[in-house]
A = this chain, B = another copy of it.
């Protein structure tokens, strides 16, 4: 139990680091009352949304917990001892949901402080502004990883039951699914409405205080990108631990659960060290600081894990699997950068296509998005295959365990990755505050530089998150099989079994339907908001001239109500489809369903994230003065591309990861149910 305890210790230390950074950022000076006032508007908007969202999610989680209490793993009415067992499961579920929710609140809380501090610090130069942004992000990074590892460690210590960790993970995932979908809808509703009315119709710059949607847009960065992405990686992290635990529990000999906690603890430790060392050097390049920190963390983890494996006499092949995962994660992340980086060919080509009008913008962006799927999918497939093969000689069952350890290896540096990622919306907000409060061009130049590095970090994180989800769900498929066999049922996941094929076809359609529902939600909501902005401009004398301030609250309210209304149906659809397929076709159909879901989900996630990033950067490339620059026809076409890309890359695309994970966990939890009752066997 040494490593389980140590991982709890490291988690507590990481929480301490998070608290230290929180205070450090909070203690930084602010630039005056105006920035405080607007910062407070953003903060209040974000908390209003979170409160209303969590109220709905609380009800949802309560209902699910009640269902678990009644029937999971065994109906309370069938035997006397069941009630207590079910109560434990329901508690684990709620524990997961609560921790995941808390991490989101912590993230929002620090992000809406760090944005002010970073904008203020930008008056003193790049380095202090960067530090405020990055350390703010690190609070989120540390809090997410520490709380997930803490939860898993405590539950393992208390129960020793991998199913309890599975229920914990399901709690975190179901919250993450809705948080991501809700935040994604909120942020893009506001972003699209603000851009279309402000930049396109009225010709006022981004973040102009006259735009009624401008505060909602900045709120959206926080609830979508900070809370949403944090929940997503919380979910992947804990799901990868749960999958590895289930498979490890089925292994003969070798204390593989210890090894898994060992790697998680060392990964978090490496992230702590990495976060402290990711300083901006003399180069003054924030992008290099972020990437340098990631590489450093990887290096530290590799060495620490090697040493621990040697000292504790764990099989060295398992360490190899972890390294395969880690390297694959970095490569997949940087592949996304290859397709979306603003100094790379695809961005230039899409920008060039904009000169021929919006239709070509869309066609070329989608085409490059399609192309970008191949290296990532091949990378995930290859790393799973290698991890399997490298661990196969260790012993029976170790091959599949290798895949789950590759996922753990990939997620080892997740603390650092989330820190980098949360940095993005913080400095994006800082830019907005600098613009709205008129801090001057020099400050804007610095925040622009910080923001640009943030966008790149965001693209890398997305690729990384998709890769991590990919390996995790492959491992979860292995866990699903173990759980079916533990329920004494037979499973035949052969492709020649028509139930497998039937499931695969339906599973493949689910991410498409899920994405469509989210995008149609954004579409509906932003149209409502555009109407509201028009109403304000038409009915508020002096607003156009900047003499009167708009009613920001109205737009925040529209985005909130819309997101709340849309967030449940899409997620519920994915869960209900899983149950339907299982109840019709049993465990074999579910196996195929997971396969189809994973394969098509990863494909669509890559397409949408990368096409969206590409359009965003093509627009920026043109705005930098290429192909006619701002205001040209090419620019107008690029703005249309960017608007299509917004829900692609920030609503649907990154939510698919979570959808896949939730579906996989639902299947695992309901494995016994499907094995017992199904229409066709």
Please give the residue numbers on chain A whose beta carbons come within 8 Å of chain B beta carbons, in ascending order.
Answer: 192, 196, 200, 353, 356-360, 362-364, 366-371, 373-374, 377-378, 380-382, 384-385, 388-389, 399-400, 403, 470, 474, 477-478, 481, 492-496, 498-506, 508-510, 512-513, 515-517, 519-520, 522-523, 527, 530, 585, 591-592, 595-596, 599-600, 602-603, 607, 640, 643-644, 647, 680
Contacts and interface: CB of A to CB of B under 8 A. Distances in A.
Contact of A513 (B370, B501, B505, B602): B370
A290 to B, nearest CB: 29
Contact of A603 (B377, B382, B600): B600
27 contacts: A192-B359, A200-B357, A356-B530, A358-B358, A359-B643, A364-B520, A366-B516, A370-B515, A371-B512, A377-B505, A377-B509, A381-B506, A384-B498, A385-B498, A385-B499, A385-B502, A389-B498, A400-B496, A481-B496, A493-B494, A493-B496, A495-B495, A495-B592, A504-B595, A505-B599, A508-B603, A509-B603
Given A509-B603, A523-B360, A384 B477 contact: no
Closest 4 CB pairs of A and B: A381-B505, A359-B643, A370-B516, A388-B498
Nearest to A400: B496
Q: Among the interface residues A493, A494, A509, A522, which one has the most CB atoms of the partner chain B within 10 A?
A: A509
Given A353-B523, A359-B644, A505 B370 contact: no
Contacts of A498: 384-385, 388-389, 399, 403
Q: Among the interface residues A200, A510, A527, A603, which one has the most CB atoms of the partner chain B within 10 A?
A: A603
B495 A380 contact: no
Contacts of A513: 370-371, 373-374
A591 B501 CA distance: 12
Given A364-B520, A474-B501, 6 more contacts: A357-B640, A363-B519, A367-B519, A385-B502, A493-B495, A495-B495
A568 B54 CA distance: 54
Contacts of A508: 373, 377, 599-600, 602-603
A650 to B, nearest CB: 13
A284 to B, nearest CB: 37
A357 B519 contact: no
Nearest to A492: B494
A675 B382 CA distance: 20
Contacts of A500: 495
A594 to B, nearest CB: 8
Contacts of A599: 504-505, 508, 596, 599-600
A362 B364 contact: no
B358 A505 contact: no
Interface of A is mostly: helix
B502 A384 contact: yes
Contacts of A373: 508-509, 512-513
B366 A519 contact: yes
Contacts of A527: 356, 360
B644 A381 contact: no
A478 B371 CA distance: 30
Given A353-B523, A496-B493, A501 B381 contact: yes
Contact of A516 (B371, B403, B496, B515): B371
B603 A512 contact: yes
A368 to B, nearest CB: 7
A104 to B, nearest CB: 27
A492 B495 CA distance: 9
A416 B316 CA distance: 64
Contacts of A493: 494-496
A196 B360 CA distance: 11
A515 B364 CA distance: 11
A371 B602 CA distance: 18
Q: Among the interface residues A370, A500, A527, which one has the most CB atoms of the partner chain B within 10 A?
A: A370
B640 A359 contact: yes
Nearest to A477: B495
A523 B356 CA distance: 10
Contacts of A504: 381, 595, 599
A196 B607 CA distance: 27
Contact of A362 (B362, B385, B595, B607): B362
A404 to B, nearest CB: 12
Contacts of A647: 363
Contact of A358 (B400, B515, B640): B640
A478 B496 contact: yes
A325 to B, nearest CB: 14
A667 B180 CA distance: 41
